[in-house]
Each structure stands twice: as C-alpha cells, then as structure tokens.
A and B are shown apart, each in its own frame.
Chain A
Amino acid sequence: MDLDLRAAFEARIARGDLIEAGDAMPDGYRRQCLRLIVTHANSELMGALPEREWIPRAPGLARKLAVLAKVQDEIGHAQMIYRVAEDLAEPYGITRADMLDDLLAGRAKFHNVFSYPAPTWADVGIIAWLVDGAALETQGALLRTSYAPYARILRRICAEEAVHLKHGEDIVLTLAGGTPAQRAMLQDALERWWRPLLHFFGPPGDARNSDAFRWRIRTAGNEELRQGFLRKYVPKIQRLGLRIPDPELRYDEDLGRYAYGDPDWEEFWRVVRGEGPRTAERLALRRASRLEQDWVRVAIGGESAA
C-alpha cells in the first residue's frame, strides 16, 4: 500500500473513524485484525468442547437446558465471528474451511484456557462464571475496536456472555451454599482454574506502541484487563468463603492494584505452543468428527474437508 494511502488510513484511525470490510487498509492492519478475529472464533469453537461434556450429565432439567443453551450461544458466536473473518480474508481467498483446517492441524491459535480438563460439575460453574467473566473483560474492551464489523457482532456476543455469567454465578452460588461435598468440589475446581484464568489475559508488558494499539485494533493492555478481572471477582470469590490458591494475592492500596504470585508463564507458553493438557485430544476429536461428517457437506454442495 503506497505511502499516501497509508497516511490517509492512519489519519482516519486518528480521527476515530471505524473501518468497514470494503475500505482501503494496509495489509498489516488486515492481517492483525484477522489474527485476532480468527483466534476468537477458534476459541469459541474449542471452548464448546469442555462444556458440552456436561450437557448429558447436568443434574437437573433446568441446568441441562441452560448448559445446552450456553454452548449453543458459543457456537453461534463462532459462526458470526468466522463470517466476519471470511469477509475480511476475502482478498486472500481464505475461507472458513481453510481456517478450520489450520485450527485442526494445530497451526492456528485459540485461547489457552480451553485446553484444560473439566472433570467435575463444579467446573461448569467456574467456567461459566470466571472464564466467561474474563472473556467479557477483554471483549468489553474490544467493543471500541476500529474494525466495525467485529465491533458490531461483539455487541451481541457481550450481551449473551453477560447472561452466561449469571448462569455460572447461579451454579457457583448454589454449590457454595450446598453440601460439604459440593463445596469441596467447588474449591477444587477453583484451585485448578485459577492459574489458567490469570494466563487468559496474556503476559504483562505487551507493547502499547505496537500496530495493534496504534491502529486501535486493541484498546486495552493485558495487565489492565487482568486487573479489571481481579477487581471484579476476587472480592466475590472471597465472600463465598473460597480460598484462592495464591498466598501472595493481595490488594496493594498504594499502587491501586492487585499483587499476585508468579503464575508460571512457562506453562502459559507451553500451552500456547499446543502442549496443553487436553489440546491434542480435543483437536483429534474435532478432526475425527469433521471427517465423519464430510459426506454431509459434499451432499449439500459445500466444501469437502477430506
């Protein structure tokens, strides 16, 4: 893209303009947006897997329907986000099938948090409350992104995530006020999810002068988002009498922020590289299912994945 057009684009960004799919844009902007958007879509799809295991096992009709509805929403989000990604990727000729190929071959990223196991019913509550809470934190900030088609669907996504939050909170409150076995299950789930939750926001120190920020693709930094999450949820978790598995976690009045123990960023990078506890298994499951259903896509005249 020549210098004049690039300067014109950056002037638009500086003015607070919103960019539409058909607008002229630097290749770098298109690629950065795509990476962010596709990672989000992949995450919604992979996020459905730990939770859908509990639909058949939900301990009541109302819970069964609610978990099914939540997973349905996540898949609906994936659908909307892949559509936005496809439109943005049109000049490259990349389709949703290509994006799914990349994901299932382990070439594309999705949020670490969806590589962890969900072995108990309490995990369902913790995920719906705290993981969705974390997602709402980052997605709330992304509502101000410069890429308009993404901002538009994020409004709907955030509204639905807010309901998921209530659903998760309800499960957690019920377990917290339940039998000793239920409370123990909840405490155990919190202890397993705490580090992945801190990892969710990424390591601190992300470059605020990077293209993603200059072009207003992102508007909030990793630590800022993590602090927002801690401010919202630590008091609530503590009020429930649950123990957060970090002896160094405390609110620093002077700094006006939470201090916390090192969450093991080595583990974070391992999982990013695809070595999460359930990464390989879940990708394999999706690959197998995709192959099994390929005949349907062929029958309706869609793209074969085989």
Chain B
Amino acid sequence: MIGKGLGLGQRAALREYILTLADDELVLGHRDSEWCAFAPLIEEDVAFASIAQDEMAHAALLYGLLEEDEAERDALAFGRDGRGMRSAVLLERPNGDWAYSLVRHHVYDIADDLRTGDLLESKEPLLRAAAERMRREERYHLAHGRSWLSVLAAGGACSRERLERAVDAVAADSYDLLRPLAWEGALVAAGALPRAPSRLWDRFVERVGAEVCAPLGLAFHPPTHAPRGREGEHSAAMDDLLRTMSEVYRSDPRAVW
C-alpha cells in the first residue's frame, strides 16, 4: 500500500503526483499508438508501437500503485473526464507530422528522465521499484529519439523546416511538464521526492537546448504560456481523445471486457 505512514495531506499529494505521471504516460502512449500502421517506414511502425506500449504499460504500472484491482485501475484510466485528467496539455495535442510527434516524444522523455531519476531517490520503495522498471525501457526511447532527430536534422531543407516548426510548437507547450504545483512541498516533506519536480526545469531547458535545439542551430525559446493540464484544464483535443478511448468501456463500465 503506497504512502503507508504518511499523513492524509501527504498521501493526497502522493496520489496526485502518481496520477500526474500515469496520466502523462497514458495520454502520450495513446497518441503514439495512433501512428500504428501509418508510420513512415514499416520498420519504424514496429519500433514506435513498442514505444507506445511501453508508455501505456508504465501508465498501468503507476495506476496499479493506486488501485490493485484491475477493474478499478481501468476505471481510473477510462472513467474520468477532462477535468479529472492530470496530464500535460502538450501530450493531448494531435499527432501532427512525424517531426512533431518525434520532437514531442523526445522532449517529454527528457522531462520524464529527470523525474524518474529523482524517483530513484524516493523513500517509497514502490516508487523506486517503478522508476527502475520504467527507466530500463526509457533508455531505448531516448536512444531512438536521438537517432531520429539527428537523421532528420541532416535530412535536407524540408526536413529541417518541419523540425524547426515542431520544436517551436513543442517548446511553447512545454512549461506544463514541470510547472510548480501547489502540493509539491508536501511530496518533498514526505520523502517521496528529494526535491520538487519544478526544480528540474533548468536542467530540462539545458538538455532540450543541447539535444534538440542545438543540432538544428536553434535556441530554446522559453514558453510564454503556462497551460494548466495538471489542474484539469484541457483543450478540445482532450475531449475527443477521451471520448474515443472510453467509447466501448463506457457502453457498459460494469461489464467485463
């Protein structure tokens, strides 16, 4: 049982944080899975489908920390509406072109790498164990993203133009990923995290600059708006996404599928 020995406020903060991580993985995994059968190369279709599965499996793992029962876990994943979802708005944006999807995924992976790196130092053994398992697969995702970004950066004017557009769009939405949150302090006080996730922002900007922007000769433009996905304020795209995702499930949530 996660959060044993924590006060009510700290346990609530822990639950919020795990939901945030899980929702991020679910929404991104769902978007990634929409490329299935339509990726630019047959080989890449297979590779990207693994990445999508990894993200959604991580979501399942994280929801599983909050609900042991599989039906309850599915209710968490499929039963909430937009106001209940804690994911970053960046992740619900439609897939766009291959450049956008790759840049979005890689920028997210950088933020996630920093977050799960901190989870390795959590006093919560279940969180440490979850982080270890997720990071084994994330190493592949990071290598995949880096390879593709460098191949596309070297792929001619058209390719670079698309990458630049993607970087601009993703950067503009990126603040949501590591925005300061009201309950961060409680997480640190509980020992669940060594530091508030928002303290990772500077390292995040550094890495995105070096890994994504610099190869294109670009600088990382600080985002000018702060979406509030963590507070349940999402775009119309999220409504579409949830409607599709829960379509069959909601036809009878009490049925076994």
Are any A and B Cβ atoms less than 8 Å apart in their complex? Answer: yes
Show the binding face of A for B, using Cβ within 8 Å. 45, 48-49, 52, 55-65, 68-69, 71-72, 75-76, 78-79, 82, 96, 121, 171, 174-175, 178-179, 181-182, 289, 292-293, 295-302
Contact present for B42 and A78 (CB under 8 Å): yes
Show 5 residue pairs from A and B whose CB-CB distance is below 8 angstroms, ordered by the A residue. Answer: A58-B248, A61-B73, A293-B40, A295-B97, A298-B156
Interface segment among B45-53, B80-88, B123-131, B179-187: the answer is B45-53
A56 is contacted by which of B57, B245, B255, B257 (Cβ under 8 Å)?
A: B245
- Report how far A176 CA is from B40 CA in the complex, Å: 38
Contact present for A289 and B38 (CB under 8 Å): yes
Contact present for A61 and B37 (CB under 8 Å): no
- Report how far A171 CA is from B158 CA in the complex, Å: 45
Residues on the A chain within 8 Å of B70, using CB: 60, 62
Contact present for B42 and A79 (CB under 8 Å): yes
SS class, residues of chain A in contact with chain B = helix
**B140 at interface by CB-CB < 8 Å:** no
- Report how far A198 CA is from B93 CA in the complex, Å: 43
**B235 at interface by CB-CB < 8 Å:** no
Contact present for A299 and B158 (CB under 8 Å): yes
Shortest Cβ gap from B250 to chain A (Å): 9
**B10 at interface by CB-CB < 8 Å:** no
- Report how far A48 CA is from B46 CA in the complex, Å: 12
Residues on the B chain within 8 Å of A302, using CB: 41
- Report how far A124 CA is from B96 CA in the complex, Å: 27
Chain B, residues 168-182, CB within 8 Å of chain A (1/0): the string is 000000000000000
Residues on the A chain within 8 Å of B46, using CB: 72, 75-76, 79
Contact present for A57 and B98 (CB under 8 Å): no
Shortest Cβ gap from B237 to chain A (Å): 13
Contact present for B43 and A79 (CB under 8 Å): yes
- Name the residue of chain B whose CB is nearest to the CB of A54: B248
Residues on the B chain within 8 Å of A49, using CB: 37
Q: A60-B78, A75-B37, A178-B255 are in contact. Are A121 and B248 (CB under 8 A)?
A: yes
Residues on the B chain within 8 Å of A78, using CB: 42
- Report how far A182 CA is from B78 CA in the complex, Å: 19
Chain B, residues 35-67, CB within 8 Å of chain A (1/0): the string is 011111111011001101100110110010000
Shortest Cβ gap from B78 to chain A (Å): 7
Contact present for B248 and A57 (CB under 8 Å): yes
Residues on the A chain within 8 Å of B107, using CB: none
Contact present for B257 and A299 (CB under 8 Å): no
B257 is contacted by which of A48, A75, A121, A298 (Cβ under 8 Å)?
A: A121
Contact present for A181 and B252 (CB under 8 Å): yes
Shortest Cβ gap from B149 to chain A (Å): 12
